[in-house]
């Protein structure tokens, strides 16, 4: 059990991609599942499987020419220091090549979706 489930899933994915693993397993939670859904929609991972009985999920990483599609992951808002942004100050990660993930009043969204809906919120992480 981790005190920071978002940092835990980001660290697991970072370590797996650095070790060139095909997949990584993690505990299941709503926040982790939403982050993985956003990564799938944006093309950073191949797919994921959810095992509700054991409360686990398996994330299949995406590689192109033996290099991971994910180049980096960074946790921005931490339990000890929360970072909030308005819709006008949502960061553009590598000029649109990466994404920012936010927790907003309408759920967990990527930065571009939050910008289009004029929503700000807690900036969880950036992925490029």
60 and 86: one domain? no
90 and 42: one domain? no
Q: What is the mean pLDDT of residues 45-68?
A: 97
44 and 60: one domain? yes
Range of the domain at 118: 73-127
Res 2: pLDDT = 73
Residue 104 makes CB contacts below 8 A (sequence gap 6+) with 114, 117, 119, 120, 121
In the sheet with 23-27, reading across from the earlier edge strand, the strands are 23-27, 56-61, 45-51
Number of H helices, E strands in the chain: 3, 10
44 and 95: one domain? no
Q: What is the mean pLDDT of residues 44-68?
A: 97
pTM (two decimals): 0.93
Strand, helix or coil at 30? helix
42 and 19: one domain? yes
Contact 22, 94 (CB under 8 A): no
81 and 63: one domain? no
Question: How many residues are given for the chain?
Answer: 128
H or E, element range at 13: helix 5-18
Crossing angle of the two packed helices 5-18 and 30-41, in degrees rounded to 10: 40
79 and 113: one domain? yes
49 and 101: one domain? no
pLDDT, one tens digit per residue, over 66-108 is: 999 999 999 999 999 999 999 999 999 999 999 999 999 999 9
């Amino acid at each position: 059990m981790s005190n920071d489930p978002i940092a835990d899933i980001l660290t697991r994915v970072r370590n797996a991609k650095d070790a060139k693993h095909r997949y990584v397993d993690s505990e299941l939670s709503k926040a982790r599942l939403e982050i993985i859904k956003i990564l799938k929609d944006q093309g950073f991972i191949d797919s994921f499987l959810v095992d509700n009985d054991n409360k686990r999920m398996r994330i299949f990483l995406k590689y192109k020419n033996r290099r991971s599609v994910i180049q980096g992951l960074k946790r921005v808002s931490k339990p000890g220091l929360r970072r909030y942004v308005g819709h006008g100050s949502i960061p553009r990660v590598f000029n649109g090549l990466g994404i920012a993930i936010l927790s907003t009043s309408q759920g967990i969204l990527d930065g571009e979706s939050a910008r289009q809906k004029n929503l700000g919120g807690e900036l969880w992480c950036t992925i490029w």
